[in-house]
């Protein structure tokens, strides 16, 4: 003899379906808010910039994407050899990327294709070719002297002057795109890299 289930079925509460949809939309809203918060935090800590041009050859190539540490100089000072992204002093709507050569108080001299910092010649294995120009500059307080690695095809401190600290966006730390170019950006310690 077949038994029948005589238990009455309870109909779903009228608000249960709408409560399910409400929870679904709440989950989406929480995910969007968390994503926005993470985006804002990541942007506060770092910047992503595209290299546009050839002034940093052979170190950086046109079209590469670079990760920039925005906090690098909030807790420390720029050092010779750092590659920095900054707002171009003559036109702050443009961002440039160059290498730090001189710090406040330094005397930079370029002569005979050689860069000298406080009379000491720099050994620069990263440049495209020796500079074909000459000059002497004294770096004032609150400023840096920056040059492109492609010395003879770069708009930098030798042509437009010193870089004020307040224009610095951050320190370039990583090439992340294209993927085959993925690498940390080398820092050269000029104090140890002089010709003897």
Residues serving a catalytic function are: 55, 98
Q: Residue 69: which residues within 8 A CB-CB, separation 6 or more?
A: 45, 46, 170, 171, 172, 173
The overall longest dimension of the chain from CA atoms, in Å, is 110
* 112 Cα distance to chain centroid: 32
Closest by CA to 170, choosing from 59, 65, 45, is: 45
Token reading at 138: 């004294």
∠ CA(135), CA(138), CA(140), 5° rounding? 145
């Amino acid at each position: 003899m077949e038994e029948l289930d005589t238990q009455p079925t309870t109909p779903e509460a009228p608000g249960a379906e709408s409560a399910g949809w409400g929870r679904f939309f709440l989950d989406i809203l929480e995910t969007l808010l968390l994503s926005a918060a993470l985006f804002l935090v990541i942007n506060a800590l770092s910047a992503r910039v595209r290299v546009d041009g050839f002034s940093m050859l052979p170190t950086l190539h046109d079209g590469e994407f670079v990760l920039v540490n925005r906090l690098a100089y909030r807790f420390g000072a720029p050092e010779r050899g750092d590659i920095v992204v900054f707002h171009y002093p003559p036109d702050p709507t443009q961002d440039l990327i160059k290498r730090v050569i001189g710090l406040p108080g330094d005397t930079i001299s370029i002569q005979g294709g050689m860069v000298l910092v406080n009379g000491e010649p720099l050994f620069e294995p990263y440049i495209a070719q020796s500079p074909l120009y000459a000059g002497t500059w004294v770096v004032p307080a609150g400023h840096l002297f920056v040059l492109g690695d492609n010395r003879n095809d770069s708009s930098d401190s030798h042509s437009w002057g010193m870089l004020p600290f307040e224009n610095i966006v951050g320190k370039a730390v990583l090439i992340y795109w294209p993927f085959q170019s993925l690498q940390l950006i080398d820092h050269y310690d000029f104090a140890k890299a002089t010709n003897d």
